[in-house]
Amino acid sequence: MLISFPNMGPNWVAFKTLFTALDLDVVLPDPTNREAVKIGVKYSPEFVCFPFKATIGDFKNALDKGADVLVMAIDCGPCRFGFYASVQERILRDMGYKDFVMIPLDQADLLEFHWVKTLQQVTGRSDPFIYSKFVKAVIFFVKKAKLLNDIQTAEGLYRAYERNQGDTTRVVKKLLLKLDETNTLKGLRNFKKVIKEDFTKIDVDKTRNPLKVAVSGEIHISLEPYVNLDIRRKLGEMQVEIHQNLSLWDWVVHKFHLNYHRKWLEHLAKPYVPMDIGGECIWVLGEYIDRARAGFDGMAHIYPFTCMPEVTARTIITNKLKKVYDLPVIFFSFDEAMAFEGFRTRLEAFVDLMYSRREHKLAHKRDYLKQDLDDIYHEYGSNFYKECFQMIQNQ
Ligand code: SF4
């Protein structure tokens, strides 16, 4: 049995450990690429959203590499995501792949423990002895998801300060491989130290005062760099500090009903959207308000073309929130036809706009804003963000 799952940025590290900790073999699809997207586009319904197409390409690649069990997250809606796994299975069978099993991973509410059924299906075991292995696998998965979140936080900050372009990207790549190879509890407990040690090796220019930009949007587009044209790296290389709440860790904690930050964002968004309508709509709205109040320089809202919940979020930001809050926002709707040059030009123009807005504010309210920046930015962000910020200042 050879298990596989679709790409979602660096999160393969956590998903892989979930299965290898159960002594199962895993084959990873190649990183999402032009070929995978081309295949997805060819075989998917034209109107379906982009993540559906990209993941079909990943699945085909995994099947060609010998996978015979595909694991795909499912939900009970409310958007098209509820239909992904079953429609993709049909398409793959129509493409001629008959000899595989598609196992759904129900993510609707992790406290309902449907995921235990998935693990039973994958291992083919439900005897009492397997449960201790399930616990170990889930602990490893959750710990690695948290560490990936820490790497993402540090990456967003360090790239804006690096003197030699590419250093942060190299450190992140090495850390992912190291995390993949760390398969003991002791190693995982110490891994935060490894992250800090590796990032402190980057030569930084701590005199910079980078723009602070939030990246928010639909989960697959936000986490998979190929489909979002690596927006985090592009902005980082323009010396912009990236703040991204969304990560696998953020999602898992939310699905266990323990994500109080998301609950805060829901509270902020409630006057505009009183319920979860799919995608990340409600949290994007909450984040826009939260980042505006925190004095951020801008926000990038990224989502797949035809994504109904995110288009709703965009409309509410444009028609309602922009009238109340002063936070520049740029929208990117990604699909297979997205051209890189147009994307880069728009990003550069957005960065120029944010710099001139900051200069304008400094010129008109110099003392007030200076104090404002010190107070807000240094207190904003997770504890790990603050630790990383301090590491840069101490270098
Ligand atoms: S969130 Fe958007 S992109 Fe994702 S399945 Fe729903 S409609 Fe499609």
Collapsing DSSP to helix, strand or coil, 92 comes out as helix
Q: Which atom of ligand 1 is nearest to the CA of 306?
A: 7
- Residue 224: pLDDT band with limits 50, 70, 90: very high
Q: What is the pTM of this model?
A: 0.93
- In this structure, the number of other CB atoms found within 10 A of the CB of residue 111 comes to 9
Span 231-250, mean pLDDT? 96
Nearest CA to ligand 1 atom 3: 307
- In this structure, the number of other CB atoms found within 10 A of the CB of residue 64 comes to 12
- Residue 395: pLDDT band with limits 50, 70, 90: confident
Collapsing DSSP to helix, strand or coil, 37 comes out as helix
If you average pLDDT over every residue of the chain, what do you get? 92
Q: Which residue has the tokens 């595989």?
A: 100
CA of 124 to the centre of ligand 1 (A): 31
Cα 20 to Cα 16, 108, 117, 182, 193: the distances in Å are: 6, 24, 17, 12, 24
Answer yes or no: is the C-beta of 51 below 6 A from any ligand 1 atom. Answer: yes
Please name every residue paired with 71 in a beta bridge, in sequence order, or none if there are none: 103
CA of 14 to the centre of ligand 1 (A): 23
Nearest CA to ligand 1 atom 7: 307
Report phi then psi at 124, rounded to 5.
Answer: 75, 20
AA identity, residue 222: S
Q: Which atom of ligand 1 is nearest to the CA of 220?
A: 4
Per-residue pLDDT, 184: 96
- The tokens describing 274, both together, are 């009183």
Taken in order of first residue, the domains within the chain and their CATH numbers are: 2-138 (3.40.50), 205-394 (no CATH)
Q: Which residue has the tokens 């504890």?
A: 383
- The tokens describing 116, both together, are 């235990």
pLDDT digits (tens, 9 = 90+) for 295-352: 899 999 999 998 999 999 999 999 999 999 999 999 999 999 888 999 999 999 999 9
Render 274-291 in DSSP notation, one character per residue: -S--STTHHHHHHHHHHH
Q: Kindly state the percentage of the chain with pLDDT values over 70.
A: 96
CA of 95 to the centre of ligand 1 (A): 24
pLDDT digits (tens, 9 = 90+) for 83-105: 899 999 999 999 999 999 999 88
Round to whole Å and give the CA distance between 229 and 233.
9
Answer yes or no: is the C-beta of 104 below 6 A from any ligand 1 atom. Answer: no
Answer yes or no: is the C-beta of 10 below 6 A from any ligand 1 atom. Answer: no
Round to whole Å and give the CA distance between 99 and 120.
20
Pocket mutation for ligand 1, best pick of 81, 227, 277 (most atoms within 8 Å of C-beta): 81
Question: Which stretches does DSSP call E strand in 83-127?
Answer: 101-106
Per-residue pLDDT, 378: 52
Answer yes or no: is the C-beta of 304 below 6 A from any ligand 1 atom. Answer: yes
CA of 189 to the centre of ligand 1 (A): 35
Per-residue pLDDT, 365: 66
Collapsing DSSP to helix, strand or coil, 241 comes out as strand
Answer yes or no: is the C-beta of 81 below 6 A from any ligand 1 atom. Answer: yes
pLDDT digits (tens, 9 = 90+) for 254-280: 999 999 999 999 999 999 999 888 899
Cα dihedral value 244, 245, 246, 251, nearest 10: 160
CA of 284 to the centre of ligand 1 (A): 14
Cα 225 to Cα 54, 200, 213, 222: the distances in Å are: 12, 24, 17, 7
Is the pLDDT confidence value at 193 over 80? yes
- How many residues in the chain? 395
Pocket mutation for ligand 1, best pick of 75, 251, 310 (most atoms within 8 Å of C-beta): 310
